[in-house]
Amino acid sequence: MSGSSPRSYGRGAAILSLGIGATGVITFAYFSLASYSLPEDEYGHITLLWSAVFITVSVLYRPVEQLLSRTIADRDARGVHGSEHLRIAATIQLALGVLFAVVALVLRDPIQNDLFGGSSTLYWVLLVSVLAYAASYFARGYLAGHHQFALYGGLVLMEASSRCLFALAVAIGIAEGQSAVALGMAAAPIVSLAVVPPALARRLAPRAVAPGAVAPGAVAAKPDPALDPERDPASLDAAARDEPAAREPEFTLARGAGFAAAVLLIMLCEQTFLNAGPLLVKATADSGGAALAGFTFNVLLIARAPLQLFQAIQTSILPHLTRLRAGGETDPFRRSVNLTLTAIAGFAACVALVMLAAGPQLMDLLFGGDFDYERGGLVLVAIGMGLYLCAATLNQALLAHGLAAHASACWITAAAGFVLFLLLADLDDPVLQVELAFVGAAALLSAALYTLYRRA
């Protein structure tokens, strides 16, 4: 069973945390360099391209990543072998990529002219980036399910580093302009796939089979206690109570697609929380919409950057909890969730205190520009970030329980409230409106998911 010991799991998760933590810092550097190197309007279009790319790839491809992560971990914990789950996941991912390509080509004119100000380069960067991320997210799910967290961390670190090099080239004068910065988004997922050959080599390497062990590709048969002549019949009921959780139904295309569809809705809601604010600010602003959208985007980076760091927890906790559930280990499952929620609360409190003490100065230092960052709004976003991370943790616990459809209903409700507040509230400050909507919707979401988790 790959990576099943607590020591190997903890070591792998720690390496993944380092890789993704460095990724968050490098992502900040990418936007900081771009902000200083480009005019405000061009930087605004870079943030809009980023939002468009990551809304799309998170909605379309993270469901398959989560599907693979959970399914591989569950099959490993139960001793089930075979590759049908990989074929099914690849079929779903390929279909989603083709769907995107068709829609993007049909809608080229409004995307290129209305969203990107007529830039054909930004349009093609969007198309190439999204298609390349199909392979990247498939690889992430494969690596997470097999607890190959070091390679997962290497993948995301290579992605962020290669993207940042393009912004650095513009900042030091090797290249120039918005297009050069944007090209980093297309190169990043392609470069990151360099970790795939080592991962496949590790899994395909021939292994010696110990006497009595189950060869790769076979399913371990569980002995029937009733057929054991040395087993006391009075102990059969106790054995049944100690059995792991009931085996899940056979993994089929319909079942995999159903799970992926529910997670797709969750991902759509997640990206609504993170990106609808800047997009709606641009759409409703009378003038300077792109620059104001870029400013709003910078404020929400207080939530977005920790989310990248949280990916280490989110990526490792789903297969970990899935293995615990498959083994019937209820108490370790609950302790893992509670420990994560406690750590998030402490982290969010620290970020809120930093924003209260020096938030405006830090944001001015990182991004410059002519906008003034309000201290209270930055603290609100920090609080919302903590609530949102708690919700994301509870969501992974519910996915491990197989309750993706129930969890998606909570996400849809909270996201709908978020968008309605943005559309219907009429505050003089659109950035404050986004900040209030974010913290309120995050509170509603975390409460709804916690209620569902307690019932589970």
Please give the structure tokens belonging to residue 166.
């393009």
Segment 31-59 mean pLDDT: 88
Residue 210 has pLDDT above 50, yes or no: no
pLDDT of residue 55: 81
Work out the burial of residue 154: count CB atoms within 10 Å of its CB; fewer than 13 is exposed, 13-18 middle, 19 or more buried: buried
Q: What percent of the chain has pLDDT over 90?
A: 32
Give pLDDT tens digits for 112-122. Answer: 998 888 889 99
How high is the mean pLDDT of the chain?
81
- Residue 148: pLDDT band (50, 70, 90) is confident
pLDDT at residue number 195 = 82
Q: Which three-class secondary structure string do you get for 161-219?
A: HHHHHHHHHHHCCCCCCHHHHHHHHHHHHHHHHHHHHHHHHHHHCCCCCCCCCCCCCCC
pLDDT value at 136 more than 80: yes
Break the chain into its structural domains and give their ranges.
6-202+251-455
Whether residue 157 is predicted with pLDDT greater than 60 in this model: the reply is yes
Euclidean distance between CA atoms 181 and 161, whole angstroms: 13
Which pLDDT does position 241 carry in this prediction? Answer: 40
SS3 at position 271: helix
pLDDT beyond 60 at 359: yes
Q: Could you give the CA distance from residue 66 to residue 74 in angstroms, rounded to a whole number?
A: 12
pLDDT band at 433 (very low <50, low <70, confident <90, very high): confident
Q: Given this model, what pLDDT does residue 13 score?
A: 61
Q: How far is the C-alpha of 69 from the C-alpha of 396, rounded, in Å?
A: 11
What was the pLDDT predicted at 323? Answer: 86
